[in-house]
Chains A and B, each alone.
Chain A
Amino acid sequence: MTIELKLNGKTHTVDAEPGTPLLWVIRDDLKLTGTKFGCGVAACGACTVHVDGAPVRSCQTYIEDLEGSEVTTIEGVNSDAAKAVQTAWAELDVVQCGYCQSGQIMSAVGLLTENAKPTVADIDEYMNGNACRCAAYQRIRAAILRASDLMEA
């Protein structure tokens, strides 16, 4: 099937079978590789993107369900929350291997967009689906708190 996919502010005409996960359209068709494949079963969060501004797991989001929706990936995210998150990530040297970090950042932006002053408990609950095998978690937590402060400033 052919669908018109709105992604990062542009409309792409994509030819894909129904049931194709958004993840693979983003990675293999549009060749935007910031969105990562980690598990394929929505258990790690590495593939997190925004659909209409809210984080979803792109490995479990199907291409036929996106007609009329706006998809944002790590390459296109640029809200105030995103800028604050990416600044805080750099300040605190959050990344190690980095493979999960696009997904972590997309989730963190989702959290701060919904809740600009999250508590540690809010962060732990919201970010629970984003696995980091390097276990950079305490820096992720600290960077979200820092980003929240940056947004307020």
Chain B
Amino acid sequence: MTVTTTRRGFLASAAATTGLLAIGISPKGAFAKAGTGALNPFVTIASDGTVTAIVKHFEKGQGTATGLSTLIAEELNMSLDAIKFEFAPSDPAVYNNFLFGPYQGTGGSTAMANSYAQYRGAGAAAREMLLQAAANRWGVSASDLSMQDGMISGAGQEAGIGEFVAEAAALNVPAEPRLKDPSEFRIIGNADVHRKDQDAKINGTAQYAMDLHLEGQMVVVIKRSPRMGGVVASFDDSAAKEINGFIQALALPNGAGVAVYADKTWAAFQARDAVEVTWDFAAAETRSSDDIRRELLAALDDNAEFDASSETDLSDTLSAIEGAAQVVEETFYFPLLAHAPMEPLGATIEPLADGGVIIHDGAQFPTSNHNALSQILELPMEKVQVNTMLAGGSFGRRATPTADYQVEVALAFAMTDRTRPVKLVWSREDDITGGYYRPAFAHKVRVGLDDAGKIVGWDHRIAGQSIFKGTFFESVIVHEGIDHSSVEGAADTPYAIPGMHFGLTDNKPATTLLWWRSVGHTHTAYVMESMMDIAAKAVGRDAVAFRLDYLADGTPDQERKAAVLRLAAEKAGWGQAAPGRSQGVAVHKSFGSYVAEVAEISRDADGYVKIEKITAAVDCGLPVNPDVIKAQIEGGIGYGIGAVMRNEITLSEGATDQINFPDYEPLRIHDIAEIETHIVPSTVDPTGIGEPGTPPAGPALANAIAVDGPRVTSLPMTNEGIDFV
């Protein structure tokens, strides 16, 4: 085996026995960590010419496997269909998300932004090395050769790339591999390429964590405390012993529940129903969601706990509003929300002959899994492997800083003799009632407008529950007490609005909380874009023109936001809605991307609202996979609209009231008649796309409803008298 590196950190290795060219990156300490001599690469090329992209971000449907493969295929001049992909093992030294720090994980719509340069660079380095190896063998200059569709040709010669793998691997890695010029792109930006993961998902062969059946496995389900902080006092499993296939029931060592083991899933569910648990609720949460709502709304009237505006004094904002010709004011409330990905949570721990384990998981945060298993099972890190499988959705739920369900399966496995695989399965009831919700938030905004209809002051108070405090991301996200995710999308708005001030008050969580597709933007975009609409209406201005007034400074940030707004308005026929239809608009920046959406609704004879069309415009930088981008905007809109229409999690004395889809009703096919997405061409490096479609969807709908109906400021809309067809 030879390994070479460069000052830029690209690394190549070849194992003579396997004939593999592997290009990865060399962070500090990679050699020391690669004790087996193996290098964890971004791309491998085998001696039979097989090219494999090693995808470091998991695939939950957002298109990462396709996207990262696209970067490799492009630089190798191959068709996307001709290369394979595999998910990367856990190795934060190589596969860290550099937007997260020394940590391997997917989230914050960072997969493409974080991988774009790395994967293109790795592909380009491989191309140059293979060409050089061919040039050396044929005694010609590499510049006389070209590589296309797995063949190297030129100077009267032609051969497959696999033939040069061993020789290429012995070469120095180019210090600055030449990336293709965007004018040469054939796959990046190509709207006609197809997803790489779709065939298996169409014929039923795709394997998710829920689908794993290992020889001898036990299924474990957990009977959890219905209230946060409740612990097992005692339990009685005598009735469970009557269930065929039941193995055992054991209290988790952390007291959080009783693990019920069975041979198969159905037996495990039945046995769990039969186990009677007596809970100790002495330290359990007792508040209801009504209590939380009262506390949050009351906090808006007090002085904010944290001042989230460094450049504006609250007193200046208040005096500007005091002197305004007109003041508009609204108070908003956002409930707890569950993520409810289609695949209920779960993972399997498989024991290995050497005493180590593999966790098979739709792993969004491999580093959290790896650390949690190493600690709980008292195994050195190198004895723990993470096998990342396809995930049946996530929307943030499979990524918890506490590795919640991976800890559960590790504790359940640790209580066995560790000879049989243990597969943890969550039911939908476990999912809906199981916490890790989008936190509840309240906002109160007062906007002062002068005689000319211009905003002169904006007093914005936010009260909510911090997602990041107490997690290992706290030092990155929380500054001077302010959890940035509580104010993102508001305090950092691109709108140039004078006299803007933001205050934040934290409320003690009554349940476990988590980021939910687009995190803080789920509520801040709704408030910002509702208030812009309310203000425009108050001064008799067009909603699009009014917004553009505050995006006129000529900064790239404002220009990009204005451009998507103009494009969505143009494509939607803004201002030209057919009789009986109403339009609403919203535009928002999140995760580095800009999305504007125009919602068009109608009402039937009974006043039921029908969402006729959402027209979206997106600028997410250079569009790598245009069709994936459209799919993410479509899905992001649906995810946001469904929640805004009719979803909420409520608590009674700390326990979740909703239990399954019938009372946490997902968006259905008839709910949105049409979505049309337009992509702004761009050469700027790619930014996020998994989340940015979600934030403007709710306020665009609310603004359309408000044209001839009520202004909905408390969600979900169905609680406020809005009925949908």
The CB with the most chain B CB atoms within 10 A, among A27, A41, A137, is that of: A137
Whether the Cβ atoms of B204 and A131 lie closer than 8 Å is no
Whether the Cβ atoms of B207 and A33 lie closer than 8 Å is yes
Contact of A134 with B635 at beta-carbon distance under 8 Å, contacts A28-B265, A38-B428, A39-B661 already known: yes
Measured between alpha carbons, how far is A105 from B197 in the docked complex, in Å?
16
Whether the Cβ atoms of A39 and B343 lie closer than 8 Å is no
Nearest Cβ distance between residue B436 and chain A, in whole angstroms? 15
Whether the Cβ atoms of B194 and A90 lie closer than 8 Å is yes
- In the complex, what residues of A have CB within 8 A of residue B674's CB? 138
Interface hit among B5-13, B274-282, B390-398, B447-455:
B390-398
Q: Which single member of B206, B427, B639 contacts A40 (CB below 8 Å)?
A: B427
Contact of A38 with B344 at beta-carbon distance under 8 Å, contacts A123-B669, A133-B639, A133-B666 already known: yes
Whether the Cβ atoms of B342 and A34 lie closer than 8 Å is no
Nearest Cβ distance between residue A113 and chain B, in whole angstroms? 18
Nearest Cβ distance between residue A126 and chain B, in whole angstroms? 9
Nearest Cβ distance between residue B34 and chain A, in whole angstroms? 33
Whether the Cβ atoms of B634 and A138 lie closer than 8 Å is yes
Contact of A135 with B637 at beta-carbon distance under 8 Å, contacts A27-B265, A33-B211, A101-B202 already known: yes
Whether the Cβ atoms of A124 and B669 lie closer than 8 Å is yes
- In the complex, what residues of B have CB within 8 A of residue A35's CB? 204
Of residues 81 through 132 on chain A, the ones whose CB sits less than 8 Å from some CB of chain B are 86, 89-90, 93-102, 105, 120, 123-125, 127-128, 130-132
Whether the Cβ atoms of B61 and A43 lie closer than 8 Å is no
Whether the Cβ atoms of A93 and B392 lie closer than 8 Å is no
Report how many residues on chain B are interfacial, defined by Cβ distance under 8 Å: 62
Does chain B have a CB within 8 A of A136? yes
Contact of A127 with B61 at beta-carbon distance under 8 Å, contacts A38-B428, A41-B660, A98-B197 already known: no
Measured between alpha carbons, how far is A117 from B198 in the docked complex, in Å?
26
Whether the Cβ atoms of A101 and B201 lie closer than 8 Å is yes
The CB with the most chain A CB atoms within 10 A, among B199, B393, B667, B672, is that of: B393
Contact of A96 with B266 at beta-carbon distance under 8 Å, contacts A31-B213, A34-B203, A89-B198 already known: no
Measured between alpha carbons, how far is A140 from B393 in the docked complex, in Å?
17
Whether the Cβ atoms of A141 and B428 lie closer than 8 Å is no
Nearest Cβ distance between residue B427 and chain A, in whole angstroms? 6
Whether the Cβ atoms of A36 and B342 lie closer than 8 Å is yes
Whether the Cβ atoms of B427 and A137 lie closer than 8 Å is no
Does chain A have a CB within 8 A of B701? no
- In the complex, what residues of B have CB within 8 A of residue A34's CB? 203-206
Does chain A have a CB within 8 A of B208? yes
Nearest Cβ distance between residue A12 and chain B, in whole angstroms? 15
Whether the Cβ atoms of A74 and B342 lie closer than 8 Å is no
Nearest Cβ distance between residue A84 and chain B, in whole angstroms? 12
Q: Which single member of B391, B428, B672 contacts A137 (CB below 8 Å)?
A: B672
Whether the Cβ atoms of B635 and A89 lie closer than 8 Å is no
Whether the Cβ atoms of B661 and A43 lie closer than 8 Å is yes
Q: Which single member of A74, A120, A125, A133 contacts B395 (CB below 8 Å)?
A: A133
Of residues 28 through 62 on chain A, the ones whose CB sits less than 8 Å from some CB of chain B are 28-29, 31-41, 43-44, 46
- In the complex, what residues of B have CB within 8 A of residue A29's CB? 264
Looking at chain A's contact residues, the main secondary structure is loop
Contact of A134 with B393 at beta-carbon distance under 8 Å, contacts A40-B428, A74-B204 already known: yes
Measured between alpha carbons, how far is A33 from B635 in the docked complex, in Å?
25
Whether the Cβ atoms of A36 and B210 lie closer than 8 Å is yes
Does chain A have a CB within 8 A of B341? yes
Q: Which single member of A20, A97, A138 contacts B342 (CB below 8 Å)?
A: A97
Q: Which single member of A21, A86, A130 contacts B266 (CB below 8 Å)?
A: A21
Contact of A97 with B392 at beta-carbon distance under 8 Å, contacts A38-B428, A135-B642 already known: yes
- In the complex, what residues of B have CB within 8 A of residue A41's CB? 428, 660-662
Q: Which single member of B211, B391, B634, B639 contacts A139 (CB below 8 Å)?
A: B634
Does chain B have a CB within 8 A of A149? no
- In the complex, what residues of A have CB within 8 A of residue B662's CB? 41, 43
- In the complex, what residues of B have CB within 8 A of residue A140's CB? 669
Measured between alpha carbons, how far is A17 from B675 in the docked complex, in Å?
47
Whether the Cβ atoms of B264 and A43 lie closer than 8 Å is no
Does chain B have a CB within 8 A of A65? no
Measured between alpha carbons, how far is A33 from B671 in the docked complex, in Å?
30
Does chain A have a CB within 8 A of B600? no
Whether the Cβ atoms of B669 and A130 lie closer than 8 Å is yes
Does chain A have a CB within 8 A of B589? no
Does chain A have a CB within 8 A of B93? no
- In the complex, what residues of B have CB within 8 A of residue A80's CB? none
With both beta carbons as reference points, the residue of chain B lying nearest to A121 in the complex is identified as B670
Measured between alpha carbons, how far is A136 from B666 in the docked complex, in Å?
13
Measured between alpha carbons, how far is A32 from B206 in the docked complex, in Å?
11
Whether the Cβ atoms of A128 and B668 lie closer than 8 Å is yes
Whether the Cβ atoms of B669 and A98 lie closer than 8 Å is no
Does chain A have a CB within 8 A of B587? no
Does chain A have a CB within 8 A of B520? no
Nearest Cβ distance between residue A76 and chain B, in whole angstroms? 9
Whether the Cβ atoms of A138 and B672 lie closer than 8 Å is yes
Does chain B have a CB within 8 A of A73? yes
Measured between alpha carbons, how far is A149 from B213 in the docked complex, in Å?
39
The CB with the most chain A CB atoms within 10 A, among B60, B197, B427, B631, is that of: B631
With both beta carbons as reference points, the residue of chain A lying nearest to B200 in the complex is identified as A98
Nearest Cβ distance between residue B85 and chain A, in whole angstroms? 15
The CB with the most chain B CB atoms within 10 A, among A96, A131, A136, A137, is that of: A96
Seen from chain A, the residues whose Cβ lies within 8 Å of a Cβ on chain B are: 17, 20-21, 24, 27-29, 31-41, 43-44, 46, 73-75, 86, 89-90, 93-102, 105, 120, 123-125, 127-128, 130-141
16 example contacts (A-B, Cβ-Cβ < 8 A) are as follows A17-B244, A24-B265, A28-B264, A32-B204, A33-B207, A40-B429, A93-B198, A95-B61, A95-B198, A99-B343, A101-B202, A131-B667, A134-B639, A135-B637, A137-B671, A139-B634
Q: Which 3 A-B pairs have the closest CB atoms?
A: A34-B204, A135-B638, A99-B392
Seen from chain B, the residues whose Cβ lies within 8 Å of a Cβ on chain A are: 60-63, 194-195, 197-208, 210-211, 213, 244, 264-266, 269, 340-344, 390-395, 427-429, 627-628, 631, 634-635, 637-639, 642, 660-662, 666-675
